Amino acid sequence: MLGATSGNAYSNINGGQHFAEVVSFAVNTLVDGMAIYSGDGYGGVGTLVDIAIWADDAGRPGALLGRFGSAIDIVDLDGTSSGNVRKHAQFAGFTMAADVSYWIGMAGHTIELAQTAVREANGGDGQMAQFTGRGSYLGQAGVGDMAFRLYGTALGPQQHVAIPLPGTLPLFGLAGVGLLAVRRRRSA
C-alpha cells in the first residue's frame, strides 16, 4: 500500500456501515476482480461479499448502477503493510467506460470484513464514501482513502469493432460468396 494506514478495522458489512471509493480509467476496462485490505481477523476464503457500483454525481456517489454477490477466493499478504491482509474476490466482470468516474465498494454480505484506510495516498483525497446498512450515502469519511485494488483487462481501440446493422448482414454474406467464386476461378 502506498501511504500510512489510519486504521484497519473500520466496520465494513453490507447490513451496516460500508464504503466506496471513486475510480476511472483512461480506456474502457473490463473489471473482473476486486480486493480490499483490512485486519487479519475479519472474513476469510469463502466469505460472501457484496460489490456495488455507483455513478458519480459531481464528485460524490450518485445512482446505484449495480450490486452483485461474489465470494473471497484469496486471502494473502500481497501489497500489504501494518498488519493488513488482502481479501480478493473474482467475478464474471463488467465494463467501466473510459474517462467516466464510478464509485465502487466491497463489503461482507453477512460477515464483517473491516476496511483499511490509507493516509496520504498518491492521488488520494484522504476520504472514502460512507454508506448506511440501507445503502444511503452518509458523506465522506475523512479517515483516509479506501485501501483496495481492481483487477481486469484494458480494452484497447482494436476491440471496439462496429457491429453491422441486421439489414446489412446478408450483403456481407453475398460479398463473401462473391470473393470465394473469384478465388476458385483464378485457382482453376
State what percent of residues in the chain have pLDDT above 90: 57
**What pLDDT sits at residue 3?**
58
Q: What is the mean pLDDT of the chain?
A: 82
pLDDT per residue as tens digits for the range 81-115: 778 999 999 999 999 999 999 999 999 999 999 99
Count other Cβ atoms within 10 Å, centred on residue 33.
Answer: 17
Cα gap 78→186, rounded to integer Å = 60
99 or 79: which leads in pLDDT: 99
Residue span of the structural domain in which 80 resides:
4-187
**What pLDDT sits at residue 83?**
82
**What pLDDT sits at residue 97?**
94
pLDDT per residue as tens digits for the range 115-168: 999 888 777 888 899 998 888 889 899 898 999 999 999 997 655 434 444 443
Cα gap 31→47, rounded to integer Å = 20
**What pLDDT sits at residue 80?**
82
CATH code for the domain of 83: 2.60.120
What are the distances in angstroms from CA 147 to CA 39, 84, 180?
A: 12, 10, 57
Count other Cβ atoms within 10 Å, centred on residue 16.
Answer: 14
pLDDT grade for 7, boundaries at 50, 70 and 90: low
Number of domains in the chain: 1
> 462473391: which residue's cell?
178
Whether 173 has a pLDDT exceeding 60, the answer reads: no
- Cell numbers for 146: 479506501
**What pLDDT sits at residue 122?**
77
Mean pLDDT, rounded, for 163-186 = 39
Mean pLDDT, rounded, for 21-25 = 95
Cα gap 17→130, rounded to integer Å = 7
Looking at the chain, how many residues does it have? 188
Cα gap 55→32, rounded to integer Å = 18
Is 91 in contact with 51 (CB distance < 8 Å)? yes
Whether 186 has a pLDDT exceeding 80, the answer reads: no
Mean pLDDT, rounded, for 21-42 = 95
Enumerate the β-bridge partners of residue 55. Answer: 102
